[in-house]
Structure 1
Amino acid sequence: MWCKGRVFRRTRQGANFIVVIVGLILIFKKQLTSLVNKAFSNINDKAGTL
């Protein structure tokens, strides 16, 4: 039972981390979408040259 407090603290920190990550994704959604699309278009263009 000694680790019960630590587990809840870690869970709360993990939840806060996830909230921050989701917030950043929502803020930078347009830039992330553009980056991913550009990366996949480069992969598709170079795949034909192999």
Structure 2
Amino acid sequence: MVPNLPTFRRSARRGERGASAVEYGLLVAGIAAIIVAVVFLLGGQITKAFDDTCGTLKSKGNGGSCSAPANGGDDGGE
């Protein structure tokens, strides 16, 4: 018996959609893991760059402040 080709193609496509969703999920998880790793590895260097920039601005006498807000930047979600 020969299977109906259009029906077989449709069912195969449905199976591929599920696989594609899983693949996209794995891709997103991998990208998120890379972002987290980069932030942890380069966090100190990024902080130092901002601190250096802040020091330069202060030495130029712009009268501004480079300090963080007293509450650490947390506005309580408002």
Q: What is the TM-score when the length of structure 1 is the normalising length? A: 0.63
Query: Paired residue for 1:21?
Result: 35
1:4-24, Cα deviation, whole Å (9 max, x unpaired): 110110000110111011001
Alignment-mate amino acid for residue 26 of structure 1: F
Please say which structure displays the higher CA radius of gyration. 2
Alignment-mate amino acid for residue 49 of structure 2: L
* Alpha-carbon distance in 1 for matches of 2:33, 2:41: 12
Give runs of ≥4 in structure 1 deviating > 4 Å. Answer: none
Alignment-mate amino acid for residue 20 of structure 2: R
Match of 1:5 among 13, 19, 38: 19
* Unpaired segments ≥5 residues, structure 1: none
**RMSD of aligned Cα (Å):** 2.3
Percent identical residues: 12
